[in-house]
Amino acid sequence: MVGGLRLSVWARPRRVTRGVATARLGSRGEDFQARMTEYPRPVRPFPSLVADPSAGAVRRATVALLASAGVPSADVDAELLIAFVSGLDRAQLQTAIVLGRPLDPAALDALGEVVSRRMAREPLQHITGVAAFRRIELAVGPGVFVPRPETEVLVQLGLDELERLEHAGGSVAAAAGGPVVVDLGTGSGAIALSVATESPASRVWAVEASVEAFLWAEGNRRRLGLDNATVVRGDLGDALDELDGTVDLVLSNPPYVPDDAIPRDPEVRLHDPELALYGGPDGLDVVRVLAVRGAELLKPGRLLAIEHGERQGEQIRELLTAAGWSEATTIPDLSGRDRVTHARRHG
């Protein structure tokens, strides 16, 4: 028993050696099955026991446990885990904390297991099965990249561009019925499905190479009921050739971690698919593919926007400019770090 909670005993995860990341989203004819870590599984669960079952006491004990394991945002994660096992939303849990209400015994029984999993640094979103992103909730789990808040900057940029095109008028909303948006390397569908939700007049296409991630994205599209979005399994380097020259906006959050840069956080290193992380020796292999494919897809003057690491903006601006793109510009995320570079197709 630690901090008032009795935890499950968990097996250690077996780490799979990453090796050289040769399977790329932009590689043609490759096997796109990402090598995955074997997740820890419970050996024998014990019921969670707390001396004080009030919501506030349980929260304090859970925060202490998560913090002791080095979990970032232990306060937030504790509340989300308690809310998850209790069948409450976070606001309802906070009300229970203020009023000193006890938690249901069944919730306490379940809490020890999920806290153990989070202490083993399994992603919170894998435990709850859900990732909140802008106005939508996405189902996520093993085999798909968990969307990050930083990517919301990319989505907002895209929505701002669509609004600009709408105000500019012209041929954007021509006979086909609205602007065409393509998300290359969609993962869970976070970018594409957010755009489809917030810009319902748009026709959004999402491309994903990984079988597992494709299934997550298509499942999310169906759950959200987005008839203006289409998810396609394919190589982002040549998918959707039927749309060449007709697209108004291309967005992408490609793999951009250099092959020899091992992420520090276990949630990323052990659980995110390699295919979604590693982008070649300098992290820009897929960006180079996007520079070519984006120009093929877009109408003249339309925008390509790419998420990237905080030290890659200058390289990407130079790469895009050398490839014939104009107005290459880098913008920061909410923490002030360079996060998205965009440019316009020349012509």
The reply, when asked if residue 40 is annotated as ligand binding, is: no
Decide: 187 and 146 in contact? Cβ < 8 Å: no
296 is in an annotated binding site: no
How far apart (Å, rounded) are the C-alpha atoms in residues 215 and 128? 18
253 assigned ligand-binding residue: yes
* Distance between CA atoms of residues 28 and 34, nearest Å: 15
Does residue 278 have a known ligand-binding role?
no
Give, in order, the Cα–Cα distances in Å from 240 to each of 155, 245, 297.
21, 11, 8
Q: Are 324 and 300 in contact (CB under 8 A)?
A: no
CA–CA distance, 340 with 92 (Å, rounded to integer): 36
d(CA 43, CA 54): 28
Indicate if 254 belongs to the active site.
Answer: yes
Task: Determine whether the annotation assigns residue 187 to a binding site.
Answer: yes
- 147, 254, 266, 273: the catalytic one is 254
Roughly what angle, to the nearest 10 degrees, separates helices 313-322 and 285-297?
40
Q: Is-contact 302 312, C-beta < 8 A?
A: no
Q: Nearest-CA neighbor of 268 among 98, 104, 145?
A: 145
Which is catalytic among the residues 32, 253, 266, 273? 253
145, 147, 220, 273: the active-site residue: 145
Work out the burial of residue 75: count CB atoms within 10 Å of its CB; fewer than 13 is exposed, 13-18 middle, 19 or more buried: middle
Name the amino acid, one letter, at 183.
D
Q: How far apart are CA 86 and CA 61, in angstroms?
A: 16
Q: Name the DSSP class of 242.
A: G
Half-sphere exposure of 83 (CA within 13 A, CB side): 19
Map tokens 């659980």 to a residue: 271
Query: 3-class DSSP state for residue 344?
Result: strand
User: Tokens in use for 64?
Assistant: 């202490």
189 annotated ligand binder:
yes
256 a known binding residue?
A: yes
253 is an active site residue: yes
Give binding residues for substrate as ranges: 253-256
Give binding residues for S-adenosyl-L-methionine as ranges: 185-189, 208, 253
Catalytic residue numbers, as ranges: 145, 253-254
